[in-house]
Amino acid sequence: MNHLQISDLTVAYRVGGHTVPAVRGVDLTVPAGGKLGVAGESGCGKSTVALAVLRLLPANATVTGRVLLDGEDVLTMRWGRLRAVRWAGASIVFQGAMHSLNAVHRVGDQITEPILLHGKGAITPAVAERRAGDLLEQVGLPAHQAAAYPHELSGGQRQRVMIAMALACEPRLIIADEPTTALDVMIQAQILRLIDGLVTEHGIALMMISHDLSVLADTCDRLAVMYAGRVVEEGPARTVFATAVHPYAAALGAAFPTVGDPAARRAPRGLAGDPPDPAQLEGGCSFCPRCPRAVAECARVDPALRPAGPDRAAACILVPPGGPSPRSLRASAAEVPAAPEGRRR
């Protein structure tokens, strides 16, 4: 059964007299215990999708579509139910834990609070405190650090506390939105391994958001690549990373060093140009102005996501329905244009 099923999700923000179409008809699925990576450059709508899943969007957002969590539509459920679902159905780990933790409360109290409010069964304060200690140990912190205030912890330790909070009510889905952005490289790897290990151990479904395709390919089973508010390619994570069929997904993959097979190693290459301003989208494929393979028709046709092989989908008129041949995939990998100096991501 699918734990999360997002269908035709559209989110537009009102800014002044304008509308910013941040997410445009997105379909995504995370099966129970599955791991979906959502990738794309800054501004493509990844966080907006995450916030929509828990109905945490700001007041200037208008949402349409369906977000089913265990078959219940989050977008239409009553507030009382939504509060319970936000902890026990799905919880979220944001980037930058310092902004998400309350500076004036001890971290232990911040973990026990949701356990007392939404935990399963009859929970006394003593039980909640013990559970908070257990959770801190699960994320690699000593239980006595429950007494610490956020400013007494390092960035990595604070992010571990956020993960403990996300686990507090035994959710069936964790959304990790760029969970390592503010951390140094060594700590990033530890936190990613921690999240991966915990969701695997507890059978929790994961939706991990990152601009880094290589991290997602390492952690997730499936990968969705977004561009200008749309999913442009979706499929098995390692396949999409290694041999993307959509020119944008291929370019994004080429912007990172390859992992694994030394024979397949290549130097990372940047992608020229910038994503479009969502408020200024024109007709045709939104990647067309940056696409090395664009033909005249691309400026006119805005392609829908369609099958591109047995287990993947892509939104590009140049991708045949059965998927491209291995030969054309190799050729297209060589086409990714280098970004001019100073514009590398």
Ligand X SMILES: Nc1ncnc2c1ncn2[C@@H]1O[C@H](COP(=O)(O)OP(=O)(O)OP(=O)(O)O)[C@@H](O)[C@H]1O
Kindly compute the dihedral angle of the four CA atoms of residues 9, 13, 19, 24, in this order, to the nearest 10 degrees. Answer: -20
Q: How many residues does the chain have?
A: 345
- Confirm or reject binding of residue 15 to ligand X (CB under 6 A): yes
In the complex with ligand X, the residue whose CB is nearer, 51 or 318, is 51
In the complex with ligand X, the residue whose CB is nearer, 60 or 102, is 60
Out of 4, 6, 22, 194, which residue is the one contacting ligand X (CB under 6 A)? 22
- Confirm or reject binding of residue 45 to ligand X (CB under 6 A): yes
Stretch that binds ligand X, among 44-52, 76-84, 152-160, 320-328 (CB under 6 A): 44-52
Tokens 């408020």 — which residue?
279
From CA 79, how far away is CA 150, in angstroms rounded?
Answer: 29
Smallest distance, ligand X to C-beta of residue 24, A: 11
- Confirm or reject binding of residue 210 to ligand X (CB under 6 A): no
- State the DSSP string of 92-124: EE-S-HHHHS-TTS-HHHHHHHHHHHH-SS---
- Confirm or reject binding of residue 213 to ligand X (CB under 6 A): no
Residue 132, token pair as written in the block = 């908070």
Out of 24, 46, 172, 222, which residue is the one contacting ligand X (CB under 6 A)? 46
CA-derived radius of gyration, the chain:
21
Task: Give the H or E element holding residue 219.
Answer: helix 213-219
Task: Give the H or E element holding residue 63.
Answer: strand 61-69
Smallest distance, ligand X to C-beta of residue 11, A: 8
> How many chain residues touch ligand X (CB under 6 A)?
16
From CA 210, how far away is CA 42, in angstroms rounded?
Answer: 9
- Please, which of residues 269-328 interact with ligand X by CB under 6 A? 278
Stretch that binds ligand X, among 42-50, 68-76, 114-122, 235-243 (CB under 6 A): 42-50
Out of 6, 30, 39, 44, which residue is the one contacting ligand X (CB under 6 A)? 44
| Pair 37, 217: CB distance under 8 Å | yes
- Confirm or reject binding of residue 58 to ligand X (CB under 6 A): yes
Stretch that binds ligand X, among 27-35, 37-45, 111-119, 215-223 (CB under 6 A): 37-45
Smallest distance, ligand X to C-beta of residue 84, A: 26
In the complex with ligand X, the residue whose CB is nearer, 51 or 153, is 51
CA 101 to chain CA centroid, nearest Å: 21
Residue 262, token pair as written in the block = 């030394």
In the complex with ligand X, the residue whose CB is nearer, 48 or 258, is 48
According to DSSP, the β-strands at 35-39 and 205-210 are parallel
In the complex with ligand X, the residue whose CB is nearer, 38 or 254, is 38
- Confirm or reject binding of residue 47 to ligand X (CB under 6 A): yes
From CA 243, how far away is CA 217, in angstroms rounded?
Answer: 12
Q: Which residues bind ligand X (CB under 6 A)?
A: 13, 15, 20, 22, 40, 42-48, 58, 60, 211, 278
